[in-house]
Amino acid sequence: MPAFSALLNGYRRFRAGPYIDQRTRFDALAHGGQSPRVMVVACADSRVDPTRIFDSAPGEMFVMRNVANLVPPYEADGATHGSSAAIEFAVTQLEVDHIVVMGHARCGGISASLTGKFDEAAEGHGAFIGRWMAKIEPARDRIRAAAALSPDIDAQEALELAAIRLSLDNLMTFPFVAERVEAGRLALQGAHFDIADGVLRVLDPVTGRFEEVAFDWSAAA
């Protein structure tokens, strides 16, 4: 199993390098528990690792990843909800200060939604994907219609950004989230990362536009 062997080799490099370099921090996390101030909702895409993009140290970020970085609406139906449980844990137990929903360019889940590949998927053949991506079907259908009228519209990016906005709206359907946001104890933020050029854009709450984060190349040299 070469893929798993590669993971073990990576572990050995980690144990010989980064683990030793941050041994004091790992000891503190092991005995003192975690207290991250930020939760990041990110895509499960293997190309988009929020801990690398934000250059965060162990224990600084509570990360939830799923297909297309979606936050489902609050549902008190007694069923099992993994994403909702992670949000509840971050907000009510870890008491994070921020929740960042980070989408990304060239998202496979978004692409599948646009093509409708899993819309009518049978059980065992993409049904889980189809049901999950159905959460953004209304936005998808609006963007499809707009793109049909104006071919210049980048439907892929438009739906990526719409999904981020929808997830932020859905976060506010959770009573414990809304309560803290309204009290000024929790802030919600949208972001979009482009894999190709490394550009991060952040949703401006005033203009409603995704604005590129300034970057000083001279400082990075």
| pLDDT tens digits, 151-201 | 899 999 999 999 999 999 999 999 999 999 999 999 999 999 999 999 999
Q: Look at residue 66 in the predicted model and tell me its pLDDT.
A: 97
Is pLDDT of 221 > 90? no
- pLDDT (tens digit, 9 = 90+) per residue, 120-162? 887 778 999 999 999 999 999 999 999 999 989 999 999 999 9
Contact 186, 180 (CB under 8 A): yes
Supply 142's token pair.
């609006």
pLDDT at residue 110, as a whole number: 97
- Sorted by where each starts, the structural domains of the chain and their CATH numbers stand as 1-33 (no CATH), 34-220 (3.40.1050.10)
- Dump pLDDT digits (tens) for 79-126: 999 999 999 999 999 999 999 999 999 999 999 999 999 998 877 789
